[in-house]
Structure 1
């Protein structure tokens, strides 16, 4: 039996070996196994016959294996492994840089522009990547693009050209050249090898551990925005605006018991696909290692886990989370969603004819007298909208300077809009009502 460890840095070679030989799914995405004799790296759950220990080396990130010259296995598909908690203990600037790069920040911009956005020097940014990953930010960005492309080649009916553009390449030739140089295959060869015949615009995203999908879908069902979100017993779908273009997705819960979710999608601008999927991973909390979380909680008190697999239900954006928090101040969930639907229907903000959630600019320019709530709360919403119209990336921690916004609103926005796990809404009315034994 493999010992579960919460910090991969503390894992020994014996634990790596035990996990791969037992194909322990708890470690899927936590590390990767590279085989020296074949030049291929795999997930620890790969069904292939396990190689001898003297012929393998271990990497805590797929990009490190690529940098070392290994190519991804076509059988277990490392690009489909669930993301991990690898960087939660690392510096905030580094974690934010990873997120921005995975959303395409370096596809059209330089490291200098990214470091300016992070408020650090480009030299320090490169130092962070060298320390934590052993590669440069640009190299990490390209590896991420190529692994994302491999996933799309396996699971979508997008053309090879569209996949190249979706992954941030400016031309099909550059995409083909980079793909062949790094993965030793052309995109056409890989597609012939692995395309799912039934696939249309579909991607499968993996998660680790238990997942109480029914609880999550029930939570969203009670809070859905009419005309924008639709929730059933087995799926959630939504229209969103990404940088001025319309996108739609539908996520199906627990795809065939494989610890993956199936995502169907349609997009006006395929270059925003990475942003769409990164946000879906955050909103549906797919990257949390729930086994490690529950193991830790059980170590504190075995009665803490009432339902296994509970996840943190996110909101599409920090702005939307802030609106939901302001409208929900000191009222019931039903009353808050009523006001949210009234706001959406009255402002009727559309992209390509489809209703989507209104932007800060739309709300700040609107007469909010139609909302059925105290004037002070309307004023707070207007102030928040005006602030985020001018400072779209501002942290909720800075919202406290706005009249009408207190710690509960800020923490709610951080918890659901940015999926920060280390928060406790101590002033929440429901939390206060919970008996303290």
Structure 2
């Protein structure tokens, strides 16, 4: 590998690994998230300029932190606030460029708390869920505005404006960088997990566009969930979220065939599931179970992870314990009631107790509960197909295909509709 390419990859790797810690620490020091990001970006530019010549430092995190602190000191000097702000920057050393970066480990302090603070700040209640997701990807995920825009099918300028407005909103709300406590912490933790789940789901089954999945968002969602679980190891729901995303993420390579067409869960080649991710997910779920056994409360992510684990443990689709999954969905419906849970509960009951049982669950749900989402008619089509009612199934699949904005999903739904129509015609 050419030296320039290796250096560029090292810079990208260091930035993706350290950007959240860097921005988090700088936000704590400056109390200004926009300034903190600017200083971090300045450090990244300095690395791009200097590392190809000087080589990758032994401690990239310390190098980036010290460079950003120096830029911060220069900023405050120009603002005539050097003494006060230098103290807030932790009396950063301002030696010459020849200073040994290997001696700077002590400069990177409070790292884990800073990242957790940054996640909570990105999910401030004054922001909309969409802005929370974009800001989390930007500040915590280290993604560029263009990468985020591509993931959510927006223009780069529109996404840049959304992120800028989010930062302005935080400033106007005088959002503190301290970790919330008590009930406020529990509420904000729910918001944090919801944003990470949103990011993952948008990648796992894209709401619109030509691609059925966006693996970059899947990977980022898993990484953020892993990070949150490490930062809050006493929270069963955080561990449950990690378990859920790791197990679901393990299926990515099996969700498309060799032609790029979507493959549904029961038809997937399970030998292509990522066993490392499954192992991580089951380990996280086991830790959550131990906490639950000690009286720690669990909720929807833990229960969904328990459902995902049933699929992961089945070597073949036919070996899936659908009765246990149906029981878990019944519990989930009590813990976190909602139309999406009910639709999935209908699937589970249809597999465990027959298509009629699934249709009865679906019939109890308001037909307009999910608006124009294709989920309900697609599940109804599947259950009708299993019941042998192919004409009705074809109609349901056709309706679902008309509703979806995702081309990959539309292809699957149209094919199933055509197959059922052909079966209905042949039986006439």
| TM-score for both structures, normalised by structure 2 | 0.27
As a proportion of its length, which structure holds more helix? Answer: 2
- Larger strand fraction of residues: 1
Structure label with greater radius of gyration:
2
Higher relative contact order (CA 8 A, sep 6+): 1
User: What TM-score do the two structures reach when normalised by structure 1?
Assistant: 0.27
